[in-house]
Structure 1
Amino acid sequence: MFVRIAVCDDDSVFLEMLVKQVSQLFQNVDSSLELEYQIDSFQDGANLLGNWDHEVYDILFLDIEMPRASGIQVADKVRMKNPYVKILFITNREDLVFHSIQYRPFRFIRKNHLEDELPEAVNGLIESLHKENKYLKVSFNGTEKNIKIIDIHYIESCKHDIYIYTFHDTFRIKSNLTKLENQLEAYGFIRTHSGYLVNSRYVFSVEKTQVVLNDGREIPLSRYRTEKVKHKLQLYGRGTEE
């Protein structure tokens, strides 16, 4: 497996240190995984975006607060070009966590906790790369089908049927939403309502009565679940689960 990594921070000293630490962590990955990597560094978000036309990255370590093109602006453009890129925001501004959710960050790493949080983040990246090749086996129209878990946006329970919504297809199956919740919770799925299970990677925002996905679809949010949903989004952003 070959992984392309971009690191972007306007502080040259911090950038050099971050690239070095990321490189060391990837070098220490279990050799049995046969992982190769390439790291490119940028001090400017505009330069990173200019290079994106020539090099599509799998992983992006991105400083939120930068002049010219902020990390938020860069993430917005990057997501349009590559919906699967794993973005890790690097900052000391914890108040920006929810503002950045719409760009589906893989992690939110604090600069003053880099030594503690970066190793966990890299381990999480490696684990995620393998998880993305996982499939949900379902019975659809009398035949067995494997649905790639990363492609599932949300799941809806309607009467006695379960509807699974992906990028291009909708699958109707016979199952139980609680059973699916137990199966998919480890992959970042959150129960927002008694009848809905949502993939956290596609959450754009959390409103009073609904969760808005990045494609504009609105999923019902039970009032008593609101705090739990927000809490889980924070946990997934940190790479932890309860």
Structure 2
Amino acid sequence: MSMGNLEIGVCDDSLEDLKRIQIAIYKAAEKLGERESISIHLYKDGISMYKDSQSQGFSLVFLDWEMPEIDGFDLAGQLYLKNPHLKVVFVSNYESIVFDAYEYMPLWFVRKSSLERDMLKALQKYLGITTKVKLRYRMRDGFGMKHVHLESVVYVECNGHALTVWMRNQTYLQMYGTLKSIENEWKDYGFVRIHKNYLVNVKSIEEVGVRTVRLFNGMELDMGKNRRKEITEIVNR
């Protein structure tokens, strides 16, 4: 599993176009200073991408509109069911699809005839609506610094003064500090304290139960006593 904290999925039935899109994403990320923070996963069909979508924890996907079996629009609809906060960019040779795609609320459109220019705008758009923080995390031989997109964080777990930041791609960073300090820093970016040991990204919450919170990946976390009403109101905003 890559330690890149922004997981990007690309689906196109043309192997040549898949490679072109991948190169365009890397070039745009390089220009924006994000080359080291992204991981790209390539798929030649929508069914394979859909099956991998939960385990890979995509934050951003690029979908070809015209594909056999399942086209980009239908695939977007299925992916939204798994992750309503997913950002989708449609890629096509046909500019006319712009009007047909509005119901899927895409982040941007990329024309294959203007791949590099449109790709740069698409990544700029995505990065403009996400927040990035710098975390000092524990390594085997000491400590390191890493920029993390908060969109990619699922929750933070506290065990004494040891904090574990769990990412959508199932990787994690270990830090030292207090959960209260992280809560104060991140509370304006969609994070809620559900328990003395858990700070959770609201976008990752699937359901608020009686004593637990269920996340998009099926995991359940304990919820503090008397916090259900407050957390439910925050999730439903």
Q: TM-score range by the shorter chain?
A: 0.5 to 0.7
Distance 1:107 1:11, change over 3 A: same
Report the equivalent of 1:121: 122
Is 1:5–1:59's contact at 8 Å kept on the other side of the alignment? yes
| TM superposition shift of 1:9 | 0.6
Report the equivalent of 1:168: 236
Could you state the TM-score of these two structures normalised by the residue count of structure 2?
0.53
The number of residue pairs the alignment matches comes to 145
Give the Cα–Cα distance (whole angstroms) in 2 for the partners of residues 125 and 58 of structure 1.
Answer: 10
Is 1:8–1:43's contact at 8 Å kept on the other side of the alignment? yes
Report the equivalent of 2:109: 108
Give the Cα–Cα distance (whole angstroms) in 1 for the partners of residues 189 and 39 of structure 2.
Answer: 30
Question: What is the aligned-residue identity percentage?
Answer: 26
| TM superposition shift of 1:111 | 1.3
RMSD: 3.2
Deviations 1:19-56 (A, max 9, x none): 1121222233337xx96111100011111111113212
Give the Cα–Cα distance (whole angstroms) in 2 for the partners of residues 146 and 70 of structure 1.
Answer: 37
Report the equivalent of 1:99: 100
Could you state the TM-score of these two structures normalised by the residue count of structure 1?
0.52
Give the Cα–Cα distance (whole angstroms) in 1 for the partners of residues 94 and 22 of structure 2.
Answer: 21
Find the residue that maps to 2:6 and give its secondary structure.
strand
Runs of 4+ displaced beyond 3 Å = 145-148
Give the Cα–Cα distance (whole angstroms) in 2 for the partners of residues 104 and 86 of structure 1.
Answer: 9
Give the Cα–Cα distance (whole angstroms) in 2 for the partners of residues 57 and 81 of structure 1.
Answer: 11
Give the Cα–Cα distance (whole angstroms) in 2 for the partners of residues 88 and 167 of structure 1.
Answer: 26
Report the equivalent of 1:200: none
Which of 25, 31, 53 is equivalent to 1:28? 31
Look up the equivalent residue of 1:99 and give its one-letter code.
Answer: D
Deviations 1:182-209 (A, max 9, x none): xxxxxxxxxxxxxxxxxxxxxxxxxxxx
| TM superposition shift of 1:107 | 0.3
Report the equivalent of 2:47: 46
Is 2:109–2:122's contact at 8 Å kept on the other side of the alignment? no
Structure 2 gap ranges (5+): 133-148, 151-186, 191-201, 203-232
User: Does residue 1:82 correspond to 2:83, yes or no?
Assistant: yes
Structure 1 gap ranges (5+): 134-144, 152-164, 170-242
Look up the equivalent residue of 1:168 and give its one-letter code.
Answer: N
User: Does residue 1:3 correspond to 2:6, yes or no?
Assistant: yes
Find the residue that maps to 1:94 and give its secondary structure.
coil
Alignment of 1:1-242 (within 5 A): 2-30=5-33, 36-130=37-131, 168-169=236-237
